[in-house]
A and B are shown apart, each in its own frame.
Chain A
């Protein structure tokens, strides 16, 4: 079974609109972390937001928020007020356990295109 599932290979959104990128995960470890990264065409991986499994509140970082529904094992990324510069590939990732040496498992990604 896939540990991280992103079901949207591509998404379009109009500038200034909000968009939700879906991510579901599968783990039996009670301690885990969920990450979202943005990868523009240059290839660099840009960290966007983090949610720990024990965090009570949904994470927010500027225009990014994470809709964490633990019982449903979903961690959707919401981007508000989309900008043209948001056009990129977005990856959801999970780290099982709490150690920094624990590996990340990535989803297949969602290509987001922001249109005028």
Chain B
């Protein structure tokens, strides 16, 4: 149980275009989803916390107008990278939290590798 999917798993786009990444909790309802960014050989950096039906809370230094997050339902959150540039190339990972089992654990998606040419 507690499976999180991401789509697409990888994407290559031209500079200036927008890219949407979907994060779905497949077998549980997630009131909170998180979006992370990871550069090669570095740690995960939290970008934003997304609660269903409300605006996302962005971490300091993350441009909310560039990284649009929508959490329209208890099983789906989307991250849109607007007007992508080569420096936005990165590995983007989402997670969804479940309070089952008392651990309030975050379950991670498999990640999306974005390359901007």
Question: Contacts A91-B43, A91-B44 hold; do A100 and B34 have CB atoms under 8 A apart?
Answer: no
Q: Taking CB as reference atom, which chain B residue is nearest A47?
A: B105
Q: Taking CB as reference atom, which chain B residue is nearest A97?
A: B104
Q: Taking CB as reference atom, which chain B residue is nearest A104?
A: B106
Interface string of A13-56 (1 = CB under 8 A from B): 00000000000000000000101010000111101001010000
Interface pair B32/A100, CB less than 8 Å apart: yes
Question: Contacts A50-B105, A101-B51 hold; do A108 and B42 have CB atoms under 8 A apart?
Answer: yes
Q: Which of B17-25, B62-70, B93-101 contacts A (4 or more CB under 8 A)?
A: B93-101
Is B113 at the interface (CB under 8 A from chain A)?
A: yes
Measured in the bound complex, the distance between the Cα atoms of B31 and A33 in whole Å is 19
Is B8 at the interface (CB under 8 A from chain A)?
A: no
Interface string of A68-100 (1 = CB under 8 A from B): 000000000000000000000001000100111
Q: Count B interface residues, CB 8 Å.
A: 26
Q: Count A interface residues, CB 8 Å.
A: 25
Interface pair B43/A44, CB less than 8 Å apart: no
Measured in the bound complex, the distance between the Cα atoms of B108 and A50 in whole Å is 15
Measured in the bound complex, the distance between the Cα atoms of B108 and A102 in whole Å is 15
Measured in the bound complex, the distance between the Cα atoms of B43 and A101 in whole Å is 20
Interface pair A95/B104, CB less than 8 Å apart: yes
Interface pair B91/A101, CB less than 8 Å apart: no
- List, in ascending order, chain B residues with CB within 8 A of A43's CB: 38, 91, 93, 110-111, 113
A-B CB contact pairs (8 Å), 13 listed:
A43-B91, A43-B110, A43-B113, A44-B108, A47-B108, A50-B103, A95-B106, A100-B97, A100-B104, A101-B31, A101-B32, A101-B49, A109-B42
| B positions within 8 Å CB-CB of A | 31-32, 34, 38, 41-44, 46, 49, 51, 91, 93, 95, 97-99, 103-108, 110-111, 113
| A positions within 8 Å CB-CB of B | 33, 35, 37, 42-45, 47, 50, 52, 91, 95, 98-109, 111
